[in-house]
Copies of this chain bind each other. A is one copy, B any other.
């Protein structure tokens, strides 16, 4: 099994300066799976209530996504998040969070799920991330995680334990500073790498991504869109494109990591163009490749003449 993702499938209510939707599909594992499935096979482990219909589940159809790990709990409701953005689309204001089925989420992996090639621990509580990792029969080739400010606030020790066991951390800029209490981002990154991971991928919203490894730093801008509609899911989409691409490659070199960062950025740039996964549903791998080339044009400069 190439990529296993454990995270949330949710309903979102969203309001941005450009529109409003009362109920649409969201959740970290949803965005991740759809994005990663452009490159490789994905297995999803998540939980929903019986309000999650077949029509809702159609988001996963016709893609390389194994939904046998999507558990449906009768008589209960799906995780619900309501958020609002002002003109500064970098900052979401949470209006409501109803954990519902997600409150008791404690996945028991199947035999095949215990043999992931790449494991992505989406933003869930750190003990659960660790539990999922420890259910693996052998060490996956790549173990990556995302997290959030809440866990740094209330579960810092557990989070540090997971950090020590993963290969790759995908994290926001502000979270690096919060976790390390270090204003300088590069110093902060180095102190997280010192815990064990080989690669830190720092998300900077509209400013793109900074990847820090022991040997190199790689900076990628975000794609400069004239119409950013809804930033929800951009980070999870990025992670999906990034790990989906890596999952499809045999080597984990600096060269492939950089390509993966660009593919993640490309996918995320589509997600923000419409509400929910509406834009991701429309695009093809050809659109992805085209925008990859646009990223080359966006960032390329020639060597100087002496």
Contact = CB atoms under 8 A, between A and B. Distances in A.
Contact of A258 (B183, B216, B263, B302): B302
A220 B259 contact: no
B221 A186 contact: no
Interface stretch (A91-99, A112-120, A154-162, A203-211): A203-211
B299 A303 contact: no
Contact of A218 (B89, B227, B299): B299
Interface stretch (A26-34, A53-61, A289-297): A289-297
Contacts of A303: 293, 296
Interface residues of A, number: 45
Given A207-B204, A299-B219, A303-B296, A186 B224 contact: yes
A301 B220 contact: yes
Interface in A208-244: 208, 210, 216-221, 224-228
Interface in A52-83: none
Interface string A241-285: 000000000000001001101110000000000000000000000
Contact of A226 (B17, B186, B225, B263): B186
A298 interface: yes
A187 interface: yes
22 contacts: A89-B183, A184-B226, A184-B228, A186-B225, A190-B226, A204-B207, A207-B207, A208-B219, A210-B224, A216-B297, A217-B224, A217-B298, A218-B298, A218-B299, A219-B221, A219-B224, A219-B299, A220-B301, A258-B300, A261-B301, A293-B303, A299-B299
